[in-house]
């Protein structure tokens, strides 16, 4: 089964409810972003206010040790910017 994913800056981006997964499982790391707070605009559109960002090692067998870094951002753009840096630079990227 061959699926096409939305791509953002060269990495697949998949949303499931309030969780957004960014990256490929064939790489050393993926990033999970969890929308923890959002507000409604006048037009009825939901906008994320707080997003928890987790760098997850894809080859770690123990789920408790798989999370290598975490942070919080106040916009989806800021969360994606951080996630992109983590994917591009792996362990060396800043928090």
Q: What is the pLDDT of residues 45-93, one digit of tens each?
A: 888 999 999 999 999 999 889 999 999 999 999 999 999 999 988 765 5
Angstrom distance (rounded) from CA 77 to CA 84: 10
Which range in 2-6, 20-24, 43-47 is most confidently predicted, on average pLDDT?
Answer: 20-24
Q: Is 4 in contact with 16 (CB distance < 8 Å)?
A: no
Q: Which residue has the higher pLDDT, 94 or 79?
A: 79
pLDDT of amino acid 41: 86
């Amino acid at each position: 089964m061959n699926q096409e994913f939305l791509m953002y800056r060269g990495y697949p981006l998949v949303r499931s409810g309030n969780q957004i997964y960014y990256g490929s499982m064939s790489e050393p790391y993926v990033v999970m972003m969890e929308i923890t707070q959002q507000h409604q605009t006048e037009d009825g559109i939901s906008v994320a206010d707080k997003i928890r960002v987790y760098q997850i090692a894809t080859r770690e067998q123990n789920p408790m040790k798989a999370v290598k870094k975490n942070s919080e951002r106040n916009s989806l753009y800021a969360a994606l910017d951080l996630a992109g840096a983590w994917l591009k630079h792996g362990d060396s990227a800043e928090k």
